[in-house]
């Protein structure tokens, strides 16, 4: 293998740049030529491919976003699109790919690799932490700390006004951010997609807490089965029907995706990037380079995509006990 390329795809996540940097420098360190593909699969199809040098990735380890930009590609879902992408890669003599992204990215990569015999290794880049085959995903720790700092700020206001705040954090299918924020932020309740909490449960808890606490924080993962924070608050308010209880809602939104990565995300991105390149050099393909129990682990794309990564149930128990 002499030439490899790297790209980022799907939602951006802090630490992607650290990962890109590691891919580029590890490749060059081992004597490879490394190319960067802009805008994920779209750029691959359109040939937005450029050679990267050591200094191309200077001073980016600490930046959020991705210098390679990202996009979701409809064209790559067609056989024709993938054919074009393959031709573009051939034009540059690229034999191996490092795909930084999440489930959707890996699904495309797996298909592409099988159709055209391209070698591909993935790196888990998504803030949601919902990928099997790695303890943490690149971006999760930063998103978690961003959300937590926001919760700390909201708590100042909640306490000053004796309010009950419903705070929505990211997590369409996964309660990782919600539950870790809940423990870290001292939340009174956490609502996640993985477990059923009814509106009556919430109302009962809040009424109980009111005897000892003047303000409360409820964290709602955006994908909770009762709805987002605004919907949950509205239902709770109706059922409580007590003017003395002052409910407010806030949705943290896109700030959770950006920002300078934490130490953990920079290191995780760096380790996965290095492992992806060395994996390609050893002939590995159709798998993701993740970190399990502080060691590099390669997991088949099919497992990453299909296997569940359950929430640590200890965490939900912690929220219950610590909010008394």
Does residue 23 have a known ligand-binding role? yes
Catalytic residue among 12, 110, 128, 224: 128
Is the CB of 116 or the CB of 247 nearer to a copy of itself? 247
Smallest gap from Cβ 161 to a copy of itself, in A, equals: 6
Residue with tokens 């790695």: 134
For residues 255 and 270, give the distance between their C-alpha atoms in angstroms, rounded to a whole number.
23
Nearest to 206 by CA among 252, 246, 251, 155: 246
Smallest gap from Cβ 162 to a copy of itself, in A, equals: 7
Smallest gap from Cβ 146 to a copy of itself, in A, equals: 7
Kindly write down the DSSP assignment for every residue of 121-163, as one continuous string.
EEEEB-TT---TTSSS-BTHHHHHHHHHHHHHHHHHHHHHHT-
CB 285 within 8 A of CB 277: no
- Reduced to 3 states, what is the DSSP secondary structure of residue 227? coil
Active site residue 12: no
Sorted by sequence, the CB contacts under 8 Å of residue 73 that are 6+ apart come out as 9, 40, 41, 42, 45, 81, 108
Torsion of CA 65, 69, 74, 78, to 10 degrees: -120
Is the CB of 20 or the CB of 118 nearer to a copy of itself? 20
**List 51, 62, 172, 207, residue binding a copy of itself (CB under 8 A):** 62
Does residue 224 have a known ligand-binding role? no
φ, ψ dihedrals at 185, nearest 5°: -95, 0
- Which positions from 224 to 263 touch a copy of itself by CB under 8 A, shown as an x/- string? ------------------------x-xxxxxx-xxxx-xx
Does residue 215 have a known ligand-binding role? yes
- Which positions from 96 to 135 touch a copy of itself by CB under 8 A, shown as an x/- string? ---------------------------------------x
- Which positions from 41 to 60 touch a copy of itself by CB under 8 A, shown as an x/- string? -------------xx--xx-
Is the CB of 12 or the CB of 222 nearer to a copy of itself? 12
**List 90, 200, 302, 312, residue binding a copy of itself (CB under 8 A):** 312
Count of C-beta atoms within a 10 Å radius of residue 38:
20
Nearest to 3 by CA among 272, 271, 281, 287: 281
Does residue 214 have a known ligand-binding role? yes
Does residue 153 have a known ligand-binding role? no
For residues 99 and 276, give the distance between their C-alpha atoms in angstroms, rounded to a whole number.
9
Is 197 a residue that touches a copy of itself (CB under 8 A)? no
* Degrees to nearest 5, angle at CA 286 with 280 and 292: 80
Is 314 a residue that touches a copy of itself (CB under 8 A)? yes
Contact positions with a copy of itself (CB under 8 A) in 150-189: 150, 152-157, 159-162, 165, 180-181, 183-186
Is the CB of 61 or the CB of 276 nearer to a copy of itself? 61
Q: Return the active site residues.
A: 128
Q: Summarize the annotated binding site for ADP as residue ranges.
A: 21-25, 155, 186-188, 211, 213-215
């Amino acid at each position: 293998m002499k030439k490899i390329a790297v790209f980022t795809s799907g939602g951006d996540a802090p630490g992607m740049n650290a990962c890109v940097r590691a891919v580029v420098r590890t490749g060059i360190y081992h004597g490879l030529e490394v190319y960067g593909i802009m805008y994920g699969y779209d750029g691959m199809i359109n040939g937005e491919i450029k050679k990267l040098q050591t200094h191309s990735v200077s001073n980016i380890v600490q930046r959020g976003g991705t210098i390679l930009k990202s996009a979701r590609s409809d064209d790559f879902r067609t056989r024709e699109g993938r054919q074009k992408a393959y031709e573009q890669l051939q034009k540059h003599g690229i034999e191996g790919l490092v795909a930084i992204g999440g489930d959707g990215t890996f699904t495309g990569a797996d298909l592409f690799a099988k159709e055209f015999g391209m070698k591909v290794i993935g790196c888990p880049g998504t803030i949601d932490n919902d990928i099997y085959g790695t303890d943490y995903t690149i971006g999760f720790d930063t998103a978690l700390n961003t959300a937590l700092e926001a919760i700390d700020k909201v708590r100042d206001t909640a306490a000053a006004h004796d309010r009950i705040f419903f705070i929505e954090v990211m997590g369409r299918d996964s309660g990782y951010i919600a539950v870790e924020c809940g423990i870290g932020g001292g939340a009174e309740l956490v609502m996640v997609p993985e477990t059923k909490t009814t509106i009556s449960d919430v109302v009962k808890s809040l009424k109980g807490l009111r005897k000892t606490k003047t303000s409360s924080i409820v964290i709602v993962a955006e994908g909770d089965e009762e709805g987002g924070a605004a919907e949950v608050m509205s239902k709770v308010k109706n059922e409580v029907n007590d003017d003395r209880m002052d409910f407010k809602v806030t949705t943290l939104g896109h700030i959770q995706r950006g920002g300078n990565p934490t130490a953990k995300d920079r290191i995780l991105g760096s380790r996965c990037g290095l492992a992806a390149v060395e994996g390609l050099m050893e002939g590995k393909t159709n798998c993701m380079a993740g970190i399990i129990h502080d060691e590099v682990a390669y997991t088949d794309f099919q497992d990453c995509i299909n296997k569940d990564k359950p929430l640590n149930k200890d965490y939900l128990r912690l929220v219950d006990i610590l909010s008394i």
